[in-house]
Copies of this chain bind each other. A is one copy, B any other.
Amino acid sequence: MSVGRETRLSAWIERFAAHFAEEGIPLIGGRILGYLLVCQPVERTAAELSQELEASSGSISTNLKYLVNVGLVTKRTRRGRQAAEYRINEKAWSEFVQRKLNAIASVQTLTDDGMRLLSGDPERAMRLRTVDHLYGWLSAELPALWERRPASPK
């Protein structure tokens, strides 16, 4: 007997969450992201997420707040509905990635400051110089690469 699509999808959601857990996003937050990326219909209430992901209402609330805050999820309230609806904001993923790239490039300010502190002692600055050189290149190239990023598919 074959495994249903929904079963395989929930396994996928778990892998998805596991990946982002390594990057510091709480497991439940990752599950919400994965779920909202593939659920049908696209919008869900907090209560539904709690049910569907078997997580407490409190965890769902905290994590939704976080995700809405970083922009990856959008909250929509409607007149005549007491329950707010949440959905993925695909557009925000590029900013999410951009923040990651910036975090890498930002080390350059650190190495740069270090180089300044060691000015006047080139011998001693040699180790830092190698690292500074690498990050200097990154902090020039990563933003440039980002500019060449294609628009999202129609």
Chain A interface (Cβ < 8 Å from any Cβ of B): 5, 8-9, 12, 15-16, 19, 22-24, 36-38, 40, 42, 88, 90-91, 93-94, 97, 100-101, 103-104, 106-107, 110, 113-114, 117-118, 124, 127-131, 133-135, 137-138, 141-142, 145, 148-150, 152-153
Instruction: Given A19-B107, A114-B37, A117-B12, check contact A153 B131 (CB 8 Å).
Output: no
Cα(A150)–Cα(B136), bound, Å: 11
Flag if A114 contacts B42 (CB, 8 Å): no
The copy count of this chain in the complex is 2
Q: Which of B90, B113, B138 contacts A130, CB < 8 Å? A: B90
Instruction: Given A19-B110, A114-B38, A149-B137, check contact A127 B97 (CB 8 Å).
Output: no
Cα(A37)–Cα(B40), bound, Å: 53
Residues of chain B within 8 A (CB-CB) of A148 are 141
Residues of chain B within 8 A (CB-CB) of A12 are 110, 113-114, 117
